[in-house]
Amino acid sequence: MPPLSWNVNEIFYSVQGEGRHSGMPAVFLRLSGCSMGCSFCDTTYAFANGTPMNSLQILVELAKYPCKTVVVTGGEPTEQNLTALIGVLKSAGHIVHLETNGARDCDVSQADFICVSPKKNVSEKMLQKADIIKLVIGQNTDLKEIEKYYAYENEHTTLYFQPESNLQENIDLCLTLVKQHPSARLSVQLHKLLHVK
Nearer to ligand SF4, 36 or 188 (CB): 36
Phi, psi (deg, nearest 5) at residue 85:
-65, -45
| Closest of 20, 13, 22, 21 to residue 189, by C-alpha | 22
Rg (the chain; Cα; Å): 16
Distance CA(131)–CA(98), nearest Å, equals 10
**19 in contact with ligand SF4 (CB under 6 A):** no
- Binding string, 134-173, against ligand SF4, x = CB under 6 A? ----------------------------------------
From residue 46 to residue 75, the character string flagging contacts with ligand SF4 as x (rule: CB under 6 A) and all else as - is: ----------------------------xx
| Per-residue contact string for residues 85-124; x = within reach of ligand SF4 by CB under 6 A | ----------------x-----------------x-----
Q: How far is the CB of 168 from ligand SF4 (least distance, A)?
A: 21
- Closest separation between CB of residue 182 and ligand SF4, Å? 27
90 or 192: whose CB is closer to ligand SF4?
A: 192
In the list 4, 24, 41, 146, the residue contacting ligand SF4 (rule: CB under 6 A) is 41
Min dist CB 115 to ligand SF4, Å, is 11
What does the alpha-carbon distance between residue 59 and residue 42 come to, in Å, rounded to a whole number?
26
Nearer to ligand SF4, 55 or 170 (CB): 170
Q: Using an 8 Å Cβ cutoff, are 64 and 40 in contact?
A: no
Residues that bind ligand SF4 (CB under 6 A): 34, 36-38, 41, 43, 74-76, 101, 119
